[in-house]
Amino acid sequence: MRLKRKTLQKIGIHLILLTTLVAVAFPIYYAFVMATHTHQDAYAFPPILTPGDQLIPNIKEAWNRVDMSVVLNNSFIIAVLVSIGKIVFSILAAFAFTHFKFKGSWFLFPLCMVTQMMPLPVRVIPLYQTMANLGWLNTYQALTIPYLASTTGIILFRQFYMTVPEELADAARVDGATPMQYLRSILVPLSWTNIAALLVIEFVYMWNEYLWPNIVTTASDMRVAQMGLRMLYTSERGAAEWNIIMAGTLVIMLPPLIVLILFRKQFAQGIAMQTTK
């Protein structure tokens, strides 16, 4: 009797989870279905809920309308540059805060943490003026350098480096290794999980950035993916060509999704590490 109740309970849990999953996945599925139909079929009533065969022509059309190769290329460049930059900067800072005793670290560490409190939007106007003064408008510098300090990254690596046994550093020192040699040949190879986790976090973040790129770029060859999507979407008011819009949406959402799926295990582990204090 007891066993039966447990089985029922489990079936209930599966039902709730599957229903939620379907509800969460539906917008993507529907977007996909839209992207596979002609303009006319997209407006059919009742709505068609099964895929058609127009996906490739729709993607081609979307690709041409927003200069897709340019926006994807730009987003890819800034996402990769910022990810690598943040990983390197965070590893260096975390290494300093965990392996050295130095004057002022009590003050410098919290200072590094304030980045979290000052998201870009609260300083967007002066920062724009800084970019203009530096002559950085419409450059990759403006799209990457202001992002390079990372609270998340420093915490992520610090959390891990604190758990690395001290004997490792002692042994390296006895063997005559410099701190940088120790970092490069021992600590970094141990950090791959954290590096992959931060790569996912930063790649997704930069790929999805919109406000700042929208402000510092005016030239059409500096536009990023999210701006391309906006152009595709807003140019089609009235009888919106949902099939073209959704074809473009699928293309633009794919790169961060691939990165997340590739490194999902490391991402989950990185998050687990962030939550353990």
Partner 1 sequence: MDRFPNHRILPYGLVLPSLTVIVVFLIIPFAQAIYQSFHRVSPFGRQLRYVGWRNYIEMFQSPEYLSSFQNTLIFSVLVIGVGLTIALVVALLTTQKIRGAGFYQIAFIWTYAMSPIIAGVMWSLIFDPSIGILTHGIANLTGYRINYFTDTVAAFILVTVASVWVMLGYNICFFVAGLQNVPHELREAAAIDGATAWQTFWVVTFPMLSPTTAFLIFVNTVYSFFQSFGLIDVVTQGGPNRTTEFLIYKIYRDGFGRMQEGQAAAQSVVLFVLVAIVGAFQIYTSTKKSVYNR
The residue range among 54-62, 65-73, 76-84, 257-265 that interacts with partner 1, by the rule CB under 8 A, is 257-265
Written as one letter, the residue type at 241 is E
Among residue numbers 111 through 140, which ones bind partner 1 (CB under 8 A)?
111-112, 114-130
> Closer to partner 1 at the Cβ: 147 or 222?
147
Site mask for partner 1 (CB under 8 A), range 191-210, x = bound: -------------x--xx-x
Binding residues for partner 1, rule CB under 8 A, total 98
Rounded to whole angstroms, the Cα distance separating 110 from 225 reads 34
The residue range among 50-58, 63-71, 106-114, 189-197 that interacts with partner 1, by the rule CB under 8 A, is 106-114
Q: Of these, 39, 146, 186, 188, which contacts partner 1 (CB under 8 A)? A: 146
Question: Helix axis angle, 68-99 relative to 192-207, nearest 10°?
Answer: 140
Tokens representing 14 are 């599966």
Q: Is 87 in the site for partner 1 (CB under 8 A)?
A: no
**DSSP line for 8-76:** HHHHHHHHHHHHHHHHHHHHHHHHHHHHTS-HHHHT-SSPP-S--S-HHHHHHHHHHHTTHHHHHHHHH
Q: Of these, 229, 241, 244, 247, which contacts partner 1 (CB under 8 A)? A: 229
Residue whose entry in the numeric block shows the structure tokens 């970019």: 131
Q: Is 157 in the site for partner 1 (CB under 8 A)?
A: no
Residue 148: how many other CB atoms lie within 10 Å: 16
Q: Is 187 in the site for partner 1 (CB under 8 A)?
A: no
> Closer to partner 1 at the Cβ: 77 or 253?
253
